[in-house]
Structure 1
Amino acid sequence: MLGISTLCFTVAVIAGAWLGINVLQGRRPLRVMKPVHVGAALIGSIFMIIALINGEQGLMLNVALAVAVVAFGVLMSWARKKGYLIAPLYVCHILLAVLFYLSLVSVTLFPNF
């Protein structure tokens, strides 16, 4: 379950990077990229919760980071729909997502660490 979760979050990272790069370059990203980013993260979260239920104890930090990443993502989306572009929300979302992903990969690759 943890490997599938990591794979899903890898897809979310790639889609998020694609979104971010396009926005920074002033281009409009493909319409499908946001649903791919959110969907892959949602599916990865479900598999992460299943792994947690199955006794994977090293995921508690990841759960806390995932909640924070989702909160900033929802705030970003809400602000964007209102017409605001608040850079600190994007920065916090990205930094927390990087920490989350590194932690998840570490738990997946080194389960006894």
Structure 2
Amino acid sequence: MLGISTLCFTVAVIAGTWLGINVLQGRRPLRVMKPIHVGAALIGSIFMVIALAQGQRELMLNVALAIAVIAFGVLMSWARKQGYLVAPLYVCHILLAVLFYLSLVSVTLFPNF
């Protein structure tokens, strides 16, 4: 379950990077990239919760980080729909997502560390 979760989050990272690069370049990203980003993260979260339920307690940090990443993502989406572009929300979302992904990959690759 943890490997599948990591794979899903890798897809979310790729899609999020694509979205970020397009926004920074002033281009409108493909409409399908946001649903891919959100969907892959959602599926990855489900598999991560299943792995947690199966006894992998080292994922508790990842759960806390995932909640924070989701919260900033929802705030970003809400602010964007209101017509605002709040850079600190994007920065927090990205930094927390990087920490989350590094932690998840570390737990996946080095389970006994």
CA shift, 1:16, in A, is 0.1
Deviation, 1:92, is 0.0
Q: How many residues align?
A: 113
| CA apart distance, 1:63 | 0.2
TM-score (norm 1): 1.00
Aligned match of 2:72:
72
Give the C-alpha shift of residue 57 in structure 1: 1.1
The structural deviation recorded for 1:83 is 0.1
Q: What are the ranges of 5 or more consecutive residues in structure 1 without an aligned counterpart? A: none
Which residue of structure 2 aligns with residue 30 of structure 1? 30
Identity rate, percent: 89
Aligned equivalents of 2:88 and 2:104: distance in 1? Answer: 24
| Structure-1 separation of matches of 2:73 and 2:27 | 20
Write out per-residue CA displacement over residues 7-47 of structure 1, whole angstroms, 9 at most, x where no aligned residue: 00000000000000000000000000000000000000000
* In 2: Cα distance, 1:13 partner to 1:85 partner: 21
Q: Deviations over 1:21-78 (max 9, x none)?
A: 0000000000000000000000000000000000001100000000000000000000
TM-score where L is the length of structure 2:
1.00
Gaps spanning 5+ residues in structure 2: where? none
Structure 1 ranges of 4+ moved more than 6 A: none
**2:85 corresponds to 1:103:** no
- Amino acid paired to 1:76: M
Identify the residue that residue 14 of structure 1 maps to in structure 2: 14
